[in-house]
Amino acid sequence: MTRFVVIGPARSGTTALRMSLGQHPQIVCHGEILAPNRVIGLSHHARGLPADPAEALQVRARDAIAFVEQAFVTHRPVNGFKVRYNQVVQVHAAEVLSRLRADKELAIIFLWRRNLARRYLSELKLYVQYLNRSAREREFMLRPTPEEMFQDCRNQLCMREMVKGLFTTQPAVELVHEDVIEGRSLPQINALLSLTLPEITLIDRKADYQNDIVVTVAEEAQLLTAYERRRHEFEPL
């Protein structure tokens, strides 16, 4: 049985990748089952774990390692889940992380977004949409500064190096969101996970993001232009 983890920052295509993996007949790929205070996207294929998210969270709270080990047990030969950068440093996940790092056969799929300015702005907009679902106002204007954007870019670079440093002995591939979107197919993952046909193809999730809350960024074009002038500082791949 092959085990894997998808690791990446928010708004970098990790959910689309997770769903694409889950469509392969050999794979079960759970969502963010290590998210703080909740279990997101636990597949119904997991044996012995409750389908209800609240009950699953209680099981995880009692024994996080046993919970994750059970999530790896399905009727399919390749099993994994998704982890976002911020979840790697959560205290509740520390023991699980240590166990995962000790598994030298665990396959790691790193996902990165080359344009960190667009990643930052996308996360800001999505956060406001979720935060204001019940608000009467349906339009919001955000006003981030270039300094705030560049600080977030630096933070993302530091997190990338820290996370990659945790998994230096495991078999791994590193994918770039923009390249994946352009190519759609993912032969590197087929090779990493020793999959037979069909080859994994990225699904389109644009319809999932339709929202009646309109969030715009003041002077967004100017922010992106400012990033373009300094992009060599933030795009290592």
- What is this structure's pTM? 0.93
CB atoms within 10 A of CB 15: 20
Per-domain residue ranges for the chain? Answer: 2-233
Lowest mean pLDDT among 148-162, 185-199, 215-229: 185-199
Mean pLDDT, the chain, whole residue set: 93
Element (H, E) at 148: helix 146-166
Cβ-contact 30, 133 below 8 angstroms: no
Tokens 């390692």 identify what position? 65
- pLDDT tens column, 67-103: 999 999 999 999 999 999 999 989 999 999 999 999 9
**pLDDT, mean of residues 195-220:** 81
Cβ-contact 112, 160 below 8 angstroms: yes
Q: Give the CATH number of domain 2-233.
A: 3.40.50
